[in-house]
Amino acid sequence: MRPWSPIPIEDCGEPLQALPRALLRMEPHPYMALDAPYGASGNPFQLRQGVVQRLLDAQQRLIQHDSSLRLSIVDAWRPIAVQAFMVDHSIENLCRERGVEARSGDAFDRVVTDVGHFWAAPSRDPATPPPHSTGAAVDLTLSSSDGMPLAMGGEIDAIGAVSEPQHYAGREDSDARRWHQRRQLLADAMGAAGFAQHPNEWWHHSFGDQLWAWRKGAAAAVYAEAVNSALTS
């Protein structure tokens, strides 16, 4: 359970919408490249309509601050089947990095716990959908206007303290200051557009889901699990 899990959801009924080309994309999509189960009609580059509009607002604020910068979308809508696939993939990767061979015991339990700090459980309970499965959450970074991503002091999906938004705050070396400034610039642009940031991930921002409601003090979330319209039409 996350601290935001008890927050009720009152879905407003907005459909998913494909991201416009004004928003850069990191392609090939990292999870599709792993053969994650999106299905033939699955498109990770879509979000709820209200979230898309706020992303465009955040990018405009960023451009007003520095015309050479853009938002670059890494991941957006994520079906629960993909969430389950990526949780398993992340556990396997971390086990391999740490030399953990058994799928039980204290070392394996630590791996599962550490992955759980960053990857939401692939819950199929309608009261606790994973944030990305609602179409409310987006993983993104800063890029130059030609699409070249900027160094942010840590890779997206890295498991560890380096991923915390304030990891480099107060550091004196020039690289750390630069990375902190970039993370803060991204957070400021997204926050001004109404988004809430995940407490453990500099790249993850959302509007309208339970995490957003928890961070903003809202009485309810406005987005439940989203269904891909291409699969229901």
What is the pLDDT at residue 231?
A: 44
| CA 118 to chain centroid | 10
Q: Give domain status of residue 153, yes or no.
A: yes
**pLDDT tens, the chain, 233 aa long:** 899 999 999 999 999 999 999 999 999 999 999 999 998 778 999 999 999 999 999 999 999 999 999 999 999 999 999 999 999 999 999 999 999 998 889 999 999 999 999 999 999 999 999 999 999 999 999 999 999 999 999 999 999 999 999 999 999 999 999 999 999 999 999 999 999 999 999 999 999 999 999 999 999 999 999 987 644 33
Which residue in 10, 92, 164, 201 is the catalytic one?
A: 201
Go through 17-46 and write b for each residue having 16 or more CB atoms within 10 A of its CB, e for each that does not.
bebeeebbbbeebbbbeeebebeeebbbbb
Q: How far lies 213's CA from each of 5, 93, 200, in Å?
A: 10, 32, 16
pTM of the model: 0.95
- Nearest-5° angle of CA 172, CA 162, CA 96? 145
pLDDT of residue 233: 31
Taking alpha carbons only, the member of 140, 121, 128 closest to residue 190 is 140
Q: Is 51 contained in some domain?
A: yes
Place of tokens 């699409």: 147
User: What's residue 229's pLDDT?
Assistant: 60
Kindly state whether residue 5 falls inside one of the protein's structural domains. Answer: no
- Domain of 158 in residue numbering reads as 16-76+125-231
User: What pLDDT score was predicted for residue 232?
Assistant: 38
201 given a catalytic annotation: yes
Instruction: Kindly state whether residue 115 falls inside one of the protein's structural domains.
Output: no
Q: What H or E segment, with its residue span, contains residue 143? A: strand 137-144
End-to-end CA distance of the chain: 34
The predicted structure's pLDDT at residue 63 = 97
Whether the CB-CB separation of 54 and 183 falls below 8 Å is answered with: no
Residue 190 lies inside a defined structural domain of this protein: yes
Number of domains in the chain: 1
CATH number of the domain encompassing residue 227: 3.30.1380
pLDDT score of 42: 82
